């Protein structure tokens, strides 16, 4: 979703450059921010540190923390709500989604969110195999 917004901003920038250079440059900067910003988790087994950070134009913003062990990866069901407002009414849409976490020294670190449990499970299974960890499903499907 955020990548789509970034691409739209870049397309808007191209159109606005023809009409107005300042507005086009503003769209270019904002679009670049959307395209280049995301969360990452870096685990260094040799030094025993992990870093949960925001990657922004190539810069890593987040604290480096020591760890003793990686416990396991788990899936948890969450409820996502969205409010839709208009002049005469407000509607709330609620749906379920699934979060994937890596437990490091008893602390959960968020990895992924997906509305499709099988997609999330598939992606987390690859991570669990790479790290040689157990994948635990705490979600309950109704």
Residues in the chain, pLDDT under 70: 1-19, 24, 141-142
Q: HSE, CB side, 13 Å, CA atoms: give it for residue 128.
A: 21
- pLDDT confidence of residue 141: 60
Please indicate, yes or no, if residue 45 is contained in any of the structural domains. Answer: no
Please indicate, yes or no, if residue 49 is contained in any of the structural domains. Answer: no
pTM of the full predicted structure?
0.70
- pLDDT confidence of residue 101: 95
- pLDDT confidence of residue 126: 94
Q: If you count them, how many residues does the chain have? A: 142
Please indicate, yes or no, if residue 111 is contained in any of the structural domains. Answer: yes
Same domain, 14 and 78: no
pLDDT in tens, 13-41: 666 666 677 776 777 777 777 777 788 88
Please indicate, yes or no, if residue 22 is contained in any of the structural domains. Answer: yes
Please indicate, yes or no, if residue 14 is contained in any of the structural domains. Answer: yes
Total domains, the chain: 2
Q: How are beta strands 38-44 and 135-137 bridged, if at all?
A: unpaired
How large is the greatest C-alpha to C-alpha distance in the chain, in angstroms?
59
Same domain, 76 and 7: no
Range of the domain at 73: 69-142
Same domain, 84 and 138: yes
Radius of gyration of the chain from its Cα atoms, rounded to whole angstroms: 20
- pLDDT confidence of residue 14: 65
């Amino acid at each position: 979703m955020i990548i789509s917004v970034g691409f739209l901003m870049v397309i808007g920038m191209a159109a606005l450059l023809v009409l107005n250079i300042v507005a086009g440059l503003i769209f270019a900067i904002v679009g670049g921010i959307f395209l280049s910003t995301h969360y990452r988790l870096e685990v260094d087994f040799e030094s025993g540190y992990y870093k949960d950070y925001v990657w922004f134009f190539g810069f890593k913003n987040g604290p480096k923390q020591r760890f003793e062990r990686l416990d396991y990866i788990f899936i948890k069901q969450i409820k996502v709500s969205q409010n839709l407002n208009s002049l005469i009414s407000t509607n709330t849409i609620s749906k379920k989604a699934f979060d994937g976490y890596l437990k490091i020294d008893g602390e959960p670190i968020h990895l992924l969110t997906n509305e499709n449990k099988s997609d999330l499970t598939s992606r987390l299974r690859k991570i669990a195999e790479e790290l040689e960890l157990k994948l635990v499903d705490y979600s309950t499907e109704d």
